[in-house]
Structures are given as C-alpha cells and as structure tokens.
Amino acid sequence: MIFGRKGRERLLDALTGFETAVREQHADRAESAYQAMYRGFQQATDEEARQAGPRLAALLPQVPPGPDGIIAVMTGACVERGADASRCAPYVLDGLAEALDAAGEFCVAWAASGGGDLPDPEADALDDAVLDRVGPRAAAAWWTLPQWEMASVAMLNHAPVRTGAGAERRTRLLDALRVVQEGSGHEFKCLWYALLVLDEEPLVVLHRPTGTGYALRMSGIGDNFQLHTLLADVLVGGGHLPGRAPSAQEAAVCRSAPGQVPTTGSFNLLAPDGTWVWNEGTPTDIPVVDGVRLLVLDPPPYERGWPAGRFFPHMTGDLVLERVLGEEETRSLLAGCAAAE
C-alpha cells in the first residue's frame, strides 16, 4: 500500500498528540490533533487501527460531552478493523450508560419546558435556544446518542463483549434506553436489538404436527427471521422434520457469510399460550417455561418470504441441535401448549 507507512506514522503521531491535549485539557490542540488523526485514519492500515482502538477507548472518560461521541464512533471503526473489542467495550458501554441517563434527562426537560417535536440530532443544529431549555449536558447527550448507538453496536457484535457485560448491566442499559424511547418516541432499534442478543441460550422446540421435540442452543441471533431460517436448516435440513429446507447459502448468510438471499418460511412460530412469535421480533420474545425458552412450530398458515441474512451483518450467529427429546417428554410439554390463536 503506497500510503501504508506514512498513514501509520500520521495516525499514531496524531493520536499521541490528541492524548496529550486531552489529558492537559487543551481544547485547541485537541481539535487540531483530532483533525490530523481523522485524516490519518483514512489511510491507516488495519494494524494501526488495531493499535489505535484501545488507546482511543481509554480516552473516552476524559473527552468532554459532545466530542466524546465522535471518539466513540472512531473507536467502533477501529474494532470493525480488528481492534480488541473486549478492551474497548468497557469504556464505550460506560459512555453509553452516561449518555442514556443524560438523554433521559433531556426528554424530561424538553417536555417540562414546553414540549413539541424533539430536534433531530442528525439534521438540526444544536443552538443556544436548545441549551437554554435543557442544559448543555442533556443536550450533548441527545445529539450524540446516535453516535453512541453506532459505537456500542460495534462492540456488541462480539460475543465476548456481550457475555462480559453480563445480564444485569445489559438490563440496566435496556431500562435506560426504554426511558429515552418512551420519552422521545424515537426508536433506537439497532441498540435495543443488540442489547437483547442471547448467547449459549437453551431453546426447546416442539413440532406439533409430528409430535417431536428438540433441545437446541442459540447464540448471536439478532432477530426471529434469522432464527426461523436456522431452525429450518437444523431441523428440516438435518432430516428431522418434513418440509422445505433452506439452501446451503441461505443458511450460511444466517451464520457468518456476507450478504442476503431470498428464502421462504417453513413454520409458524408460536408461544406455548398459542400467541404468535413474530419474525420481526427477537428470540427474547420466546417465553421461558421452567427455566428454558419454549417454542412451538406449526405449519405456516400462508407462504411468506424474506431476505435470509443477519440483522447485524458483523455478528456471527448459530443454532445447534443438542438432542432429540423423548416421546414422553415431548408429549408432556405439548399437552401444556395451546393451539394457535
């Protein structure tokens, strides 16, 4: 690469200058170093991005609200180019938590100061009128929340980050995000879905027409479209159930292969109480019964197609069959399941 060495020197040198300016709280030098760092990033090698990611992440607690969202995005870009997500994620998720709390305050202050349509962070300028209404901290959080979403999803694409964050922390983030969504009417769907992703999650599936049952384990599945296709691959493609099996390519793009390809549904997904589990939802919509998520499969009531693939293109997903349930166990479980509503 022609720009390889020069780009590497420019980015790392600029990053060193940025680190110094941030720690010395010198705003003008920090801005100048950031501009040089941004230019260097355009020509940087993947190796440089791997080195830069953790250094940028470690600076986040010291970067003022507003600019911190830009540094979070740059950290996420480094992770997408190979930087260690587990080293970067704690700083990014801490920043996300603070941004969500302050964005919740923004929604409350906006409503209390007259309400009206909330400004669009990606289209509207942050001006003095907004600052007077809600204060600088809340305003900065609202304007940078899309950036924190982007950076956090880049972290949560990685299973060690999701498992390392822990269920309790992810629940707190979801609760804070729910406050913002309800207060603003704005849907941060990518962040919401990323925080809901399950890993090494047991799943029991009952196929009502054949009276058979299966214990599976799912990881990294972003939505139920992806789950539906993988269920058909494992159970129909694996020779356990009759019906249409996805092609090898349809299954591959739902695990780790790039792209999307058309597919057709093989089942109707149901909760044990007979309500539908919609493809548009996530695996967390499947109810937990006696400690395990329990899903019922019925024949599809109509033909439905969609692009097979992954809601999160950079997230690896999988569904593994662990065992076929015995007849008596399956019959007992099916006896407690209602017919489709």
Task: Looking at the structure, tell me whether residues 260 and 331 fall in a common domain.
Answer: yes
Three-state SS string across 286-330, please? CCEECCEEEEEEECCCCCCEEEECCCCCCCCCEEEEEEECCHHHH
Structure tokens at 320: 């593994």
Residue 33, domain member (yes or no): no
Within 10 A of 71 (CB to CB), how many other CB atoms are there?
A: 24
**Pair (160, 205) in one structural domain:** no
Average pLDDT value over all residues in the chain:
94
> For residue 19, is it within any domain?
no
Amino acid 334 reads: L
Query: Which pairing describes strands 212-219 and 318-324: parallel, antiparallel, or unpaired?
Result: antiparallel
Place of tokens 């729910």: 178
> CA-to-CA distance for 246 and 87, rounded, in angstroms?
37
Binning pLDDT at 50, 70 and 90, where does residue 164 land?
very high
Q: Would residue 290 be called left, alpha or beta, if left means φ above 0 and alpha means ψ between -120 and 50 degrees?
A: left
What span, in angstroms and rounded, lies between the C-alpha atoms of 188 and 190? 6
Average pLDDT over residues 243-266: 97
Query: In this predicted structure, what is the pLDDT of residue 172?
Result: 97
The answer on 206 and 161 residing in a single domain is no
DSSP 276: B
The Cα 269–Cα 248 span in angstroms is: 22
Choose one of 150, 178, 196: the last residue of a domain: 196
Is 15 within a domain?
no
Q: Which residues pair with 296 in a beta bridge?
A: 206, 270
- For residues 73 and 178, state if they share a domain: yes
Do residues 190 and 232 both lie within one domain? no
Domain C-terminal end among 173, 196, 219: 196
Cα(320)–Cα(200) distance, rounded to whole angstroms?
A: 10
Task: Determine the pLDDT at residue 4.
Answer: 41
Residue 175 lies in a domain: yes
Residues 124 and 182 occupy one common structural domain: yes
Q: Is residue 183 part of a domain?
A: yes
What is the number of residues in the chain? 341
Residue 62 lies in a domain: yes
Structural domain boundaries, residue 120: 45-196
Identify whether residues 104 and 119 lie together within a single domain: yes
Separation between Cα atoms, residue 155 and residue 95, nearest integer Å: 12
Q: Are the beta carbons of 47 and 83 closer than 8 angstroms?
A: no
Nearest 10 degrees: Cα torsion 42, 46, 49, 51: -150
The band of 122, judged by pLDDT with boundaries at 50, 70 and 90, is confident
DSSP-based three-state secondary structure for 263:
strand
* Residues 227, 176 share a domain: no
Strands 261-264 and 305-308: antiparallel
Name which residue leads in pLDDT, 41 or 138. Answer: 138
Q: Which residues pair with 202 in a beta bridge?
A: 217
Q: For residue 288, what are its two tokens?
A: 């937990």
Pairing type for strands 268-270 and 212-219 reads: unpaired
Q: What is the DSSP letter of 54?
A: H
Is the model's pTM score more than 0.85?
yes
DSSP string, 133-199: HH-HHHHHHHHHHHHHHHHHHHHHTSHHHHHHHHHHHHHHHHHHHHHHHHHH----HHHHHHHH--S
- Whether residues 189 and 218 fall in one domain: no
Residues 56, 189: one domain?
yes
What is the total count of domains within the chain? 2
User: Which of the pair, 6 or 176, is modelled with greater confidence?
Assistant: 176
Within-domain flag for 178: yes
Last residue of a domain, one of 196, 229, 256: 196
Confidence of residue 123 (pLDDT cuts 50, 70, 90): confident
148 plus 251 within the same structural domain: no
Taking only the tens place, the pLDDT of each residue in 88-113 is: 999 999 999 999 999 999 999 999 99
Predicted confidence at residue 10, as pLDDT, reads 83
Residues 187 and 283 in one domain: no
Short-list 50, 51, 15, CA closest to 35: 15
- Residue 316 domain-assigned? yes
- The Cα 150–Cα 71 span in angstroms is 11
Instruction: Check: CB of residue 22 under 8 Å from CB of residue 62.
Output: yes
Across the strands, what pairs with 318? 219
The predicted pLDDT at position 111 comes to 95
